[in-house]
Amino acid sequence: MNESTSGDPYHDASIFASMYILNSQSLGTASSTPPVIPTGRSSPTMSNIDLMHFLQTQVLLYHILHDISARTEANDLANHISDMVGPEAWDLAEDLIEALLTGLRLDAEYDIAEVCQDVYSIACQYTAEPECASRLQRPLERLGTLYWELYTASEAALGRAPVPAFYPLSRLMGGPYSSAAEESEDRASGEENVDAGS
User: Cα angle at 161 between 156 and 165, to 5 degrees?
Assistant: 75
Residue burial 111-148, b: 16+ Cβ < 10 Å; e: rest: bbebbbebbbebbbebbeeeeebeebbeebbebbbebb
Q: What is the pLDDT of residues 147-198, one digit of tens each?
A: 999 999 988 888 887 778 888 877 665 555 555 445 555 555 555 554 555 5
Q: What is the pLDDT of residues 125-148, one digit of tens each?
A: 999 999 999 999 999 999 999 999
Phi, psi of 185 (to 5 degrees): -65, -40
Q: What is the pLDDT of residue 124?
A: 97
Among 35-39, 59-63, 98-102, 178-182, whose mean pLDDT is lowest?
35-39
pLDDT tops 80 at residue 22: no
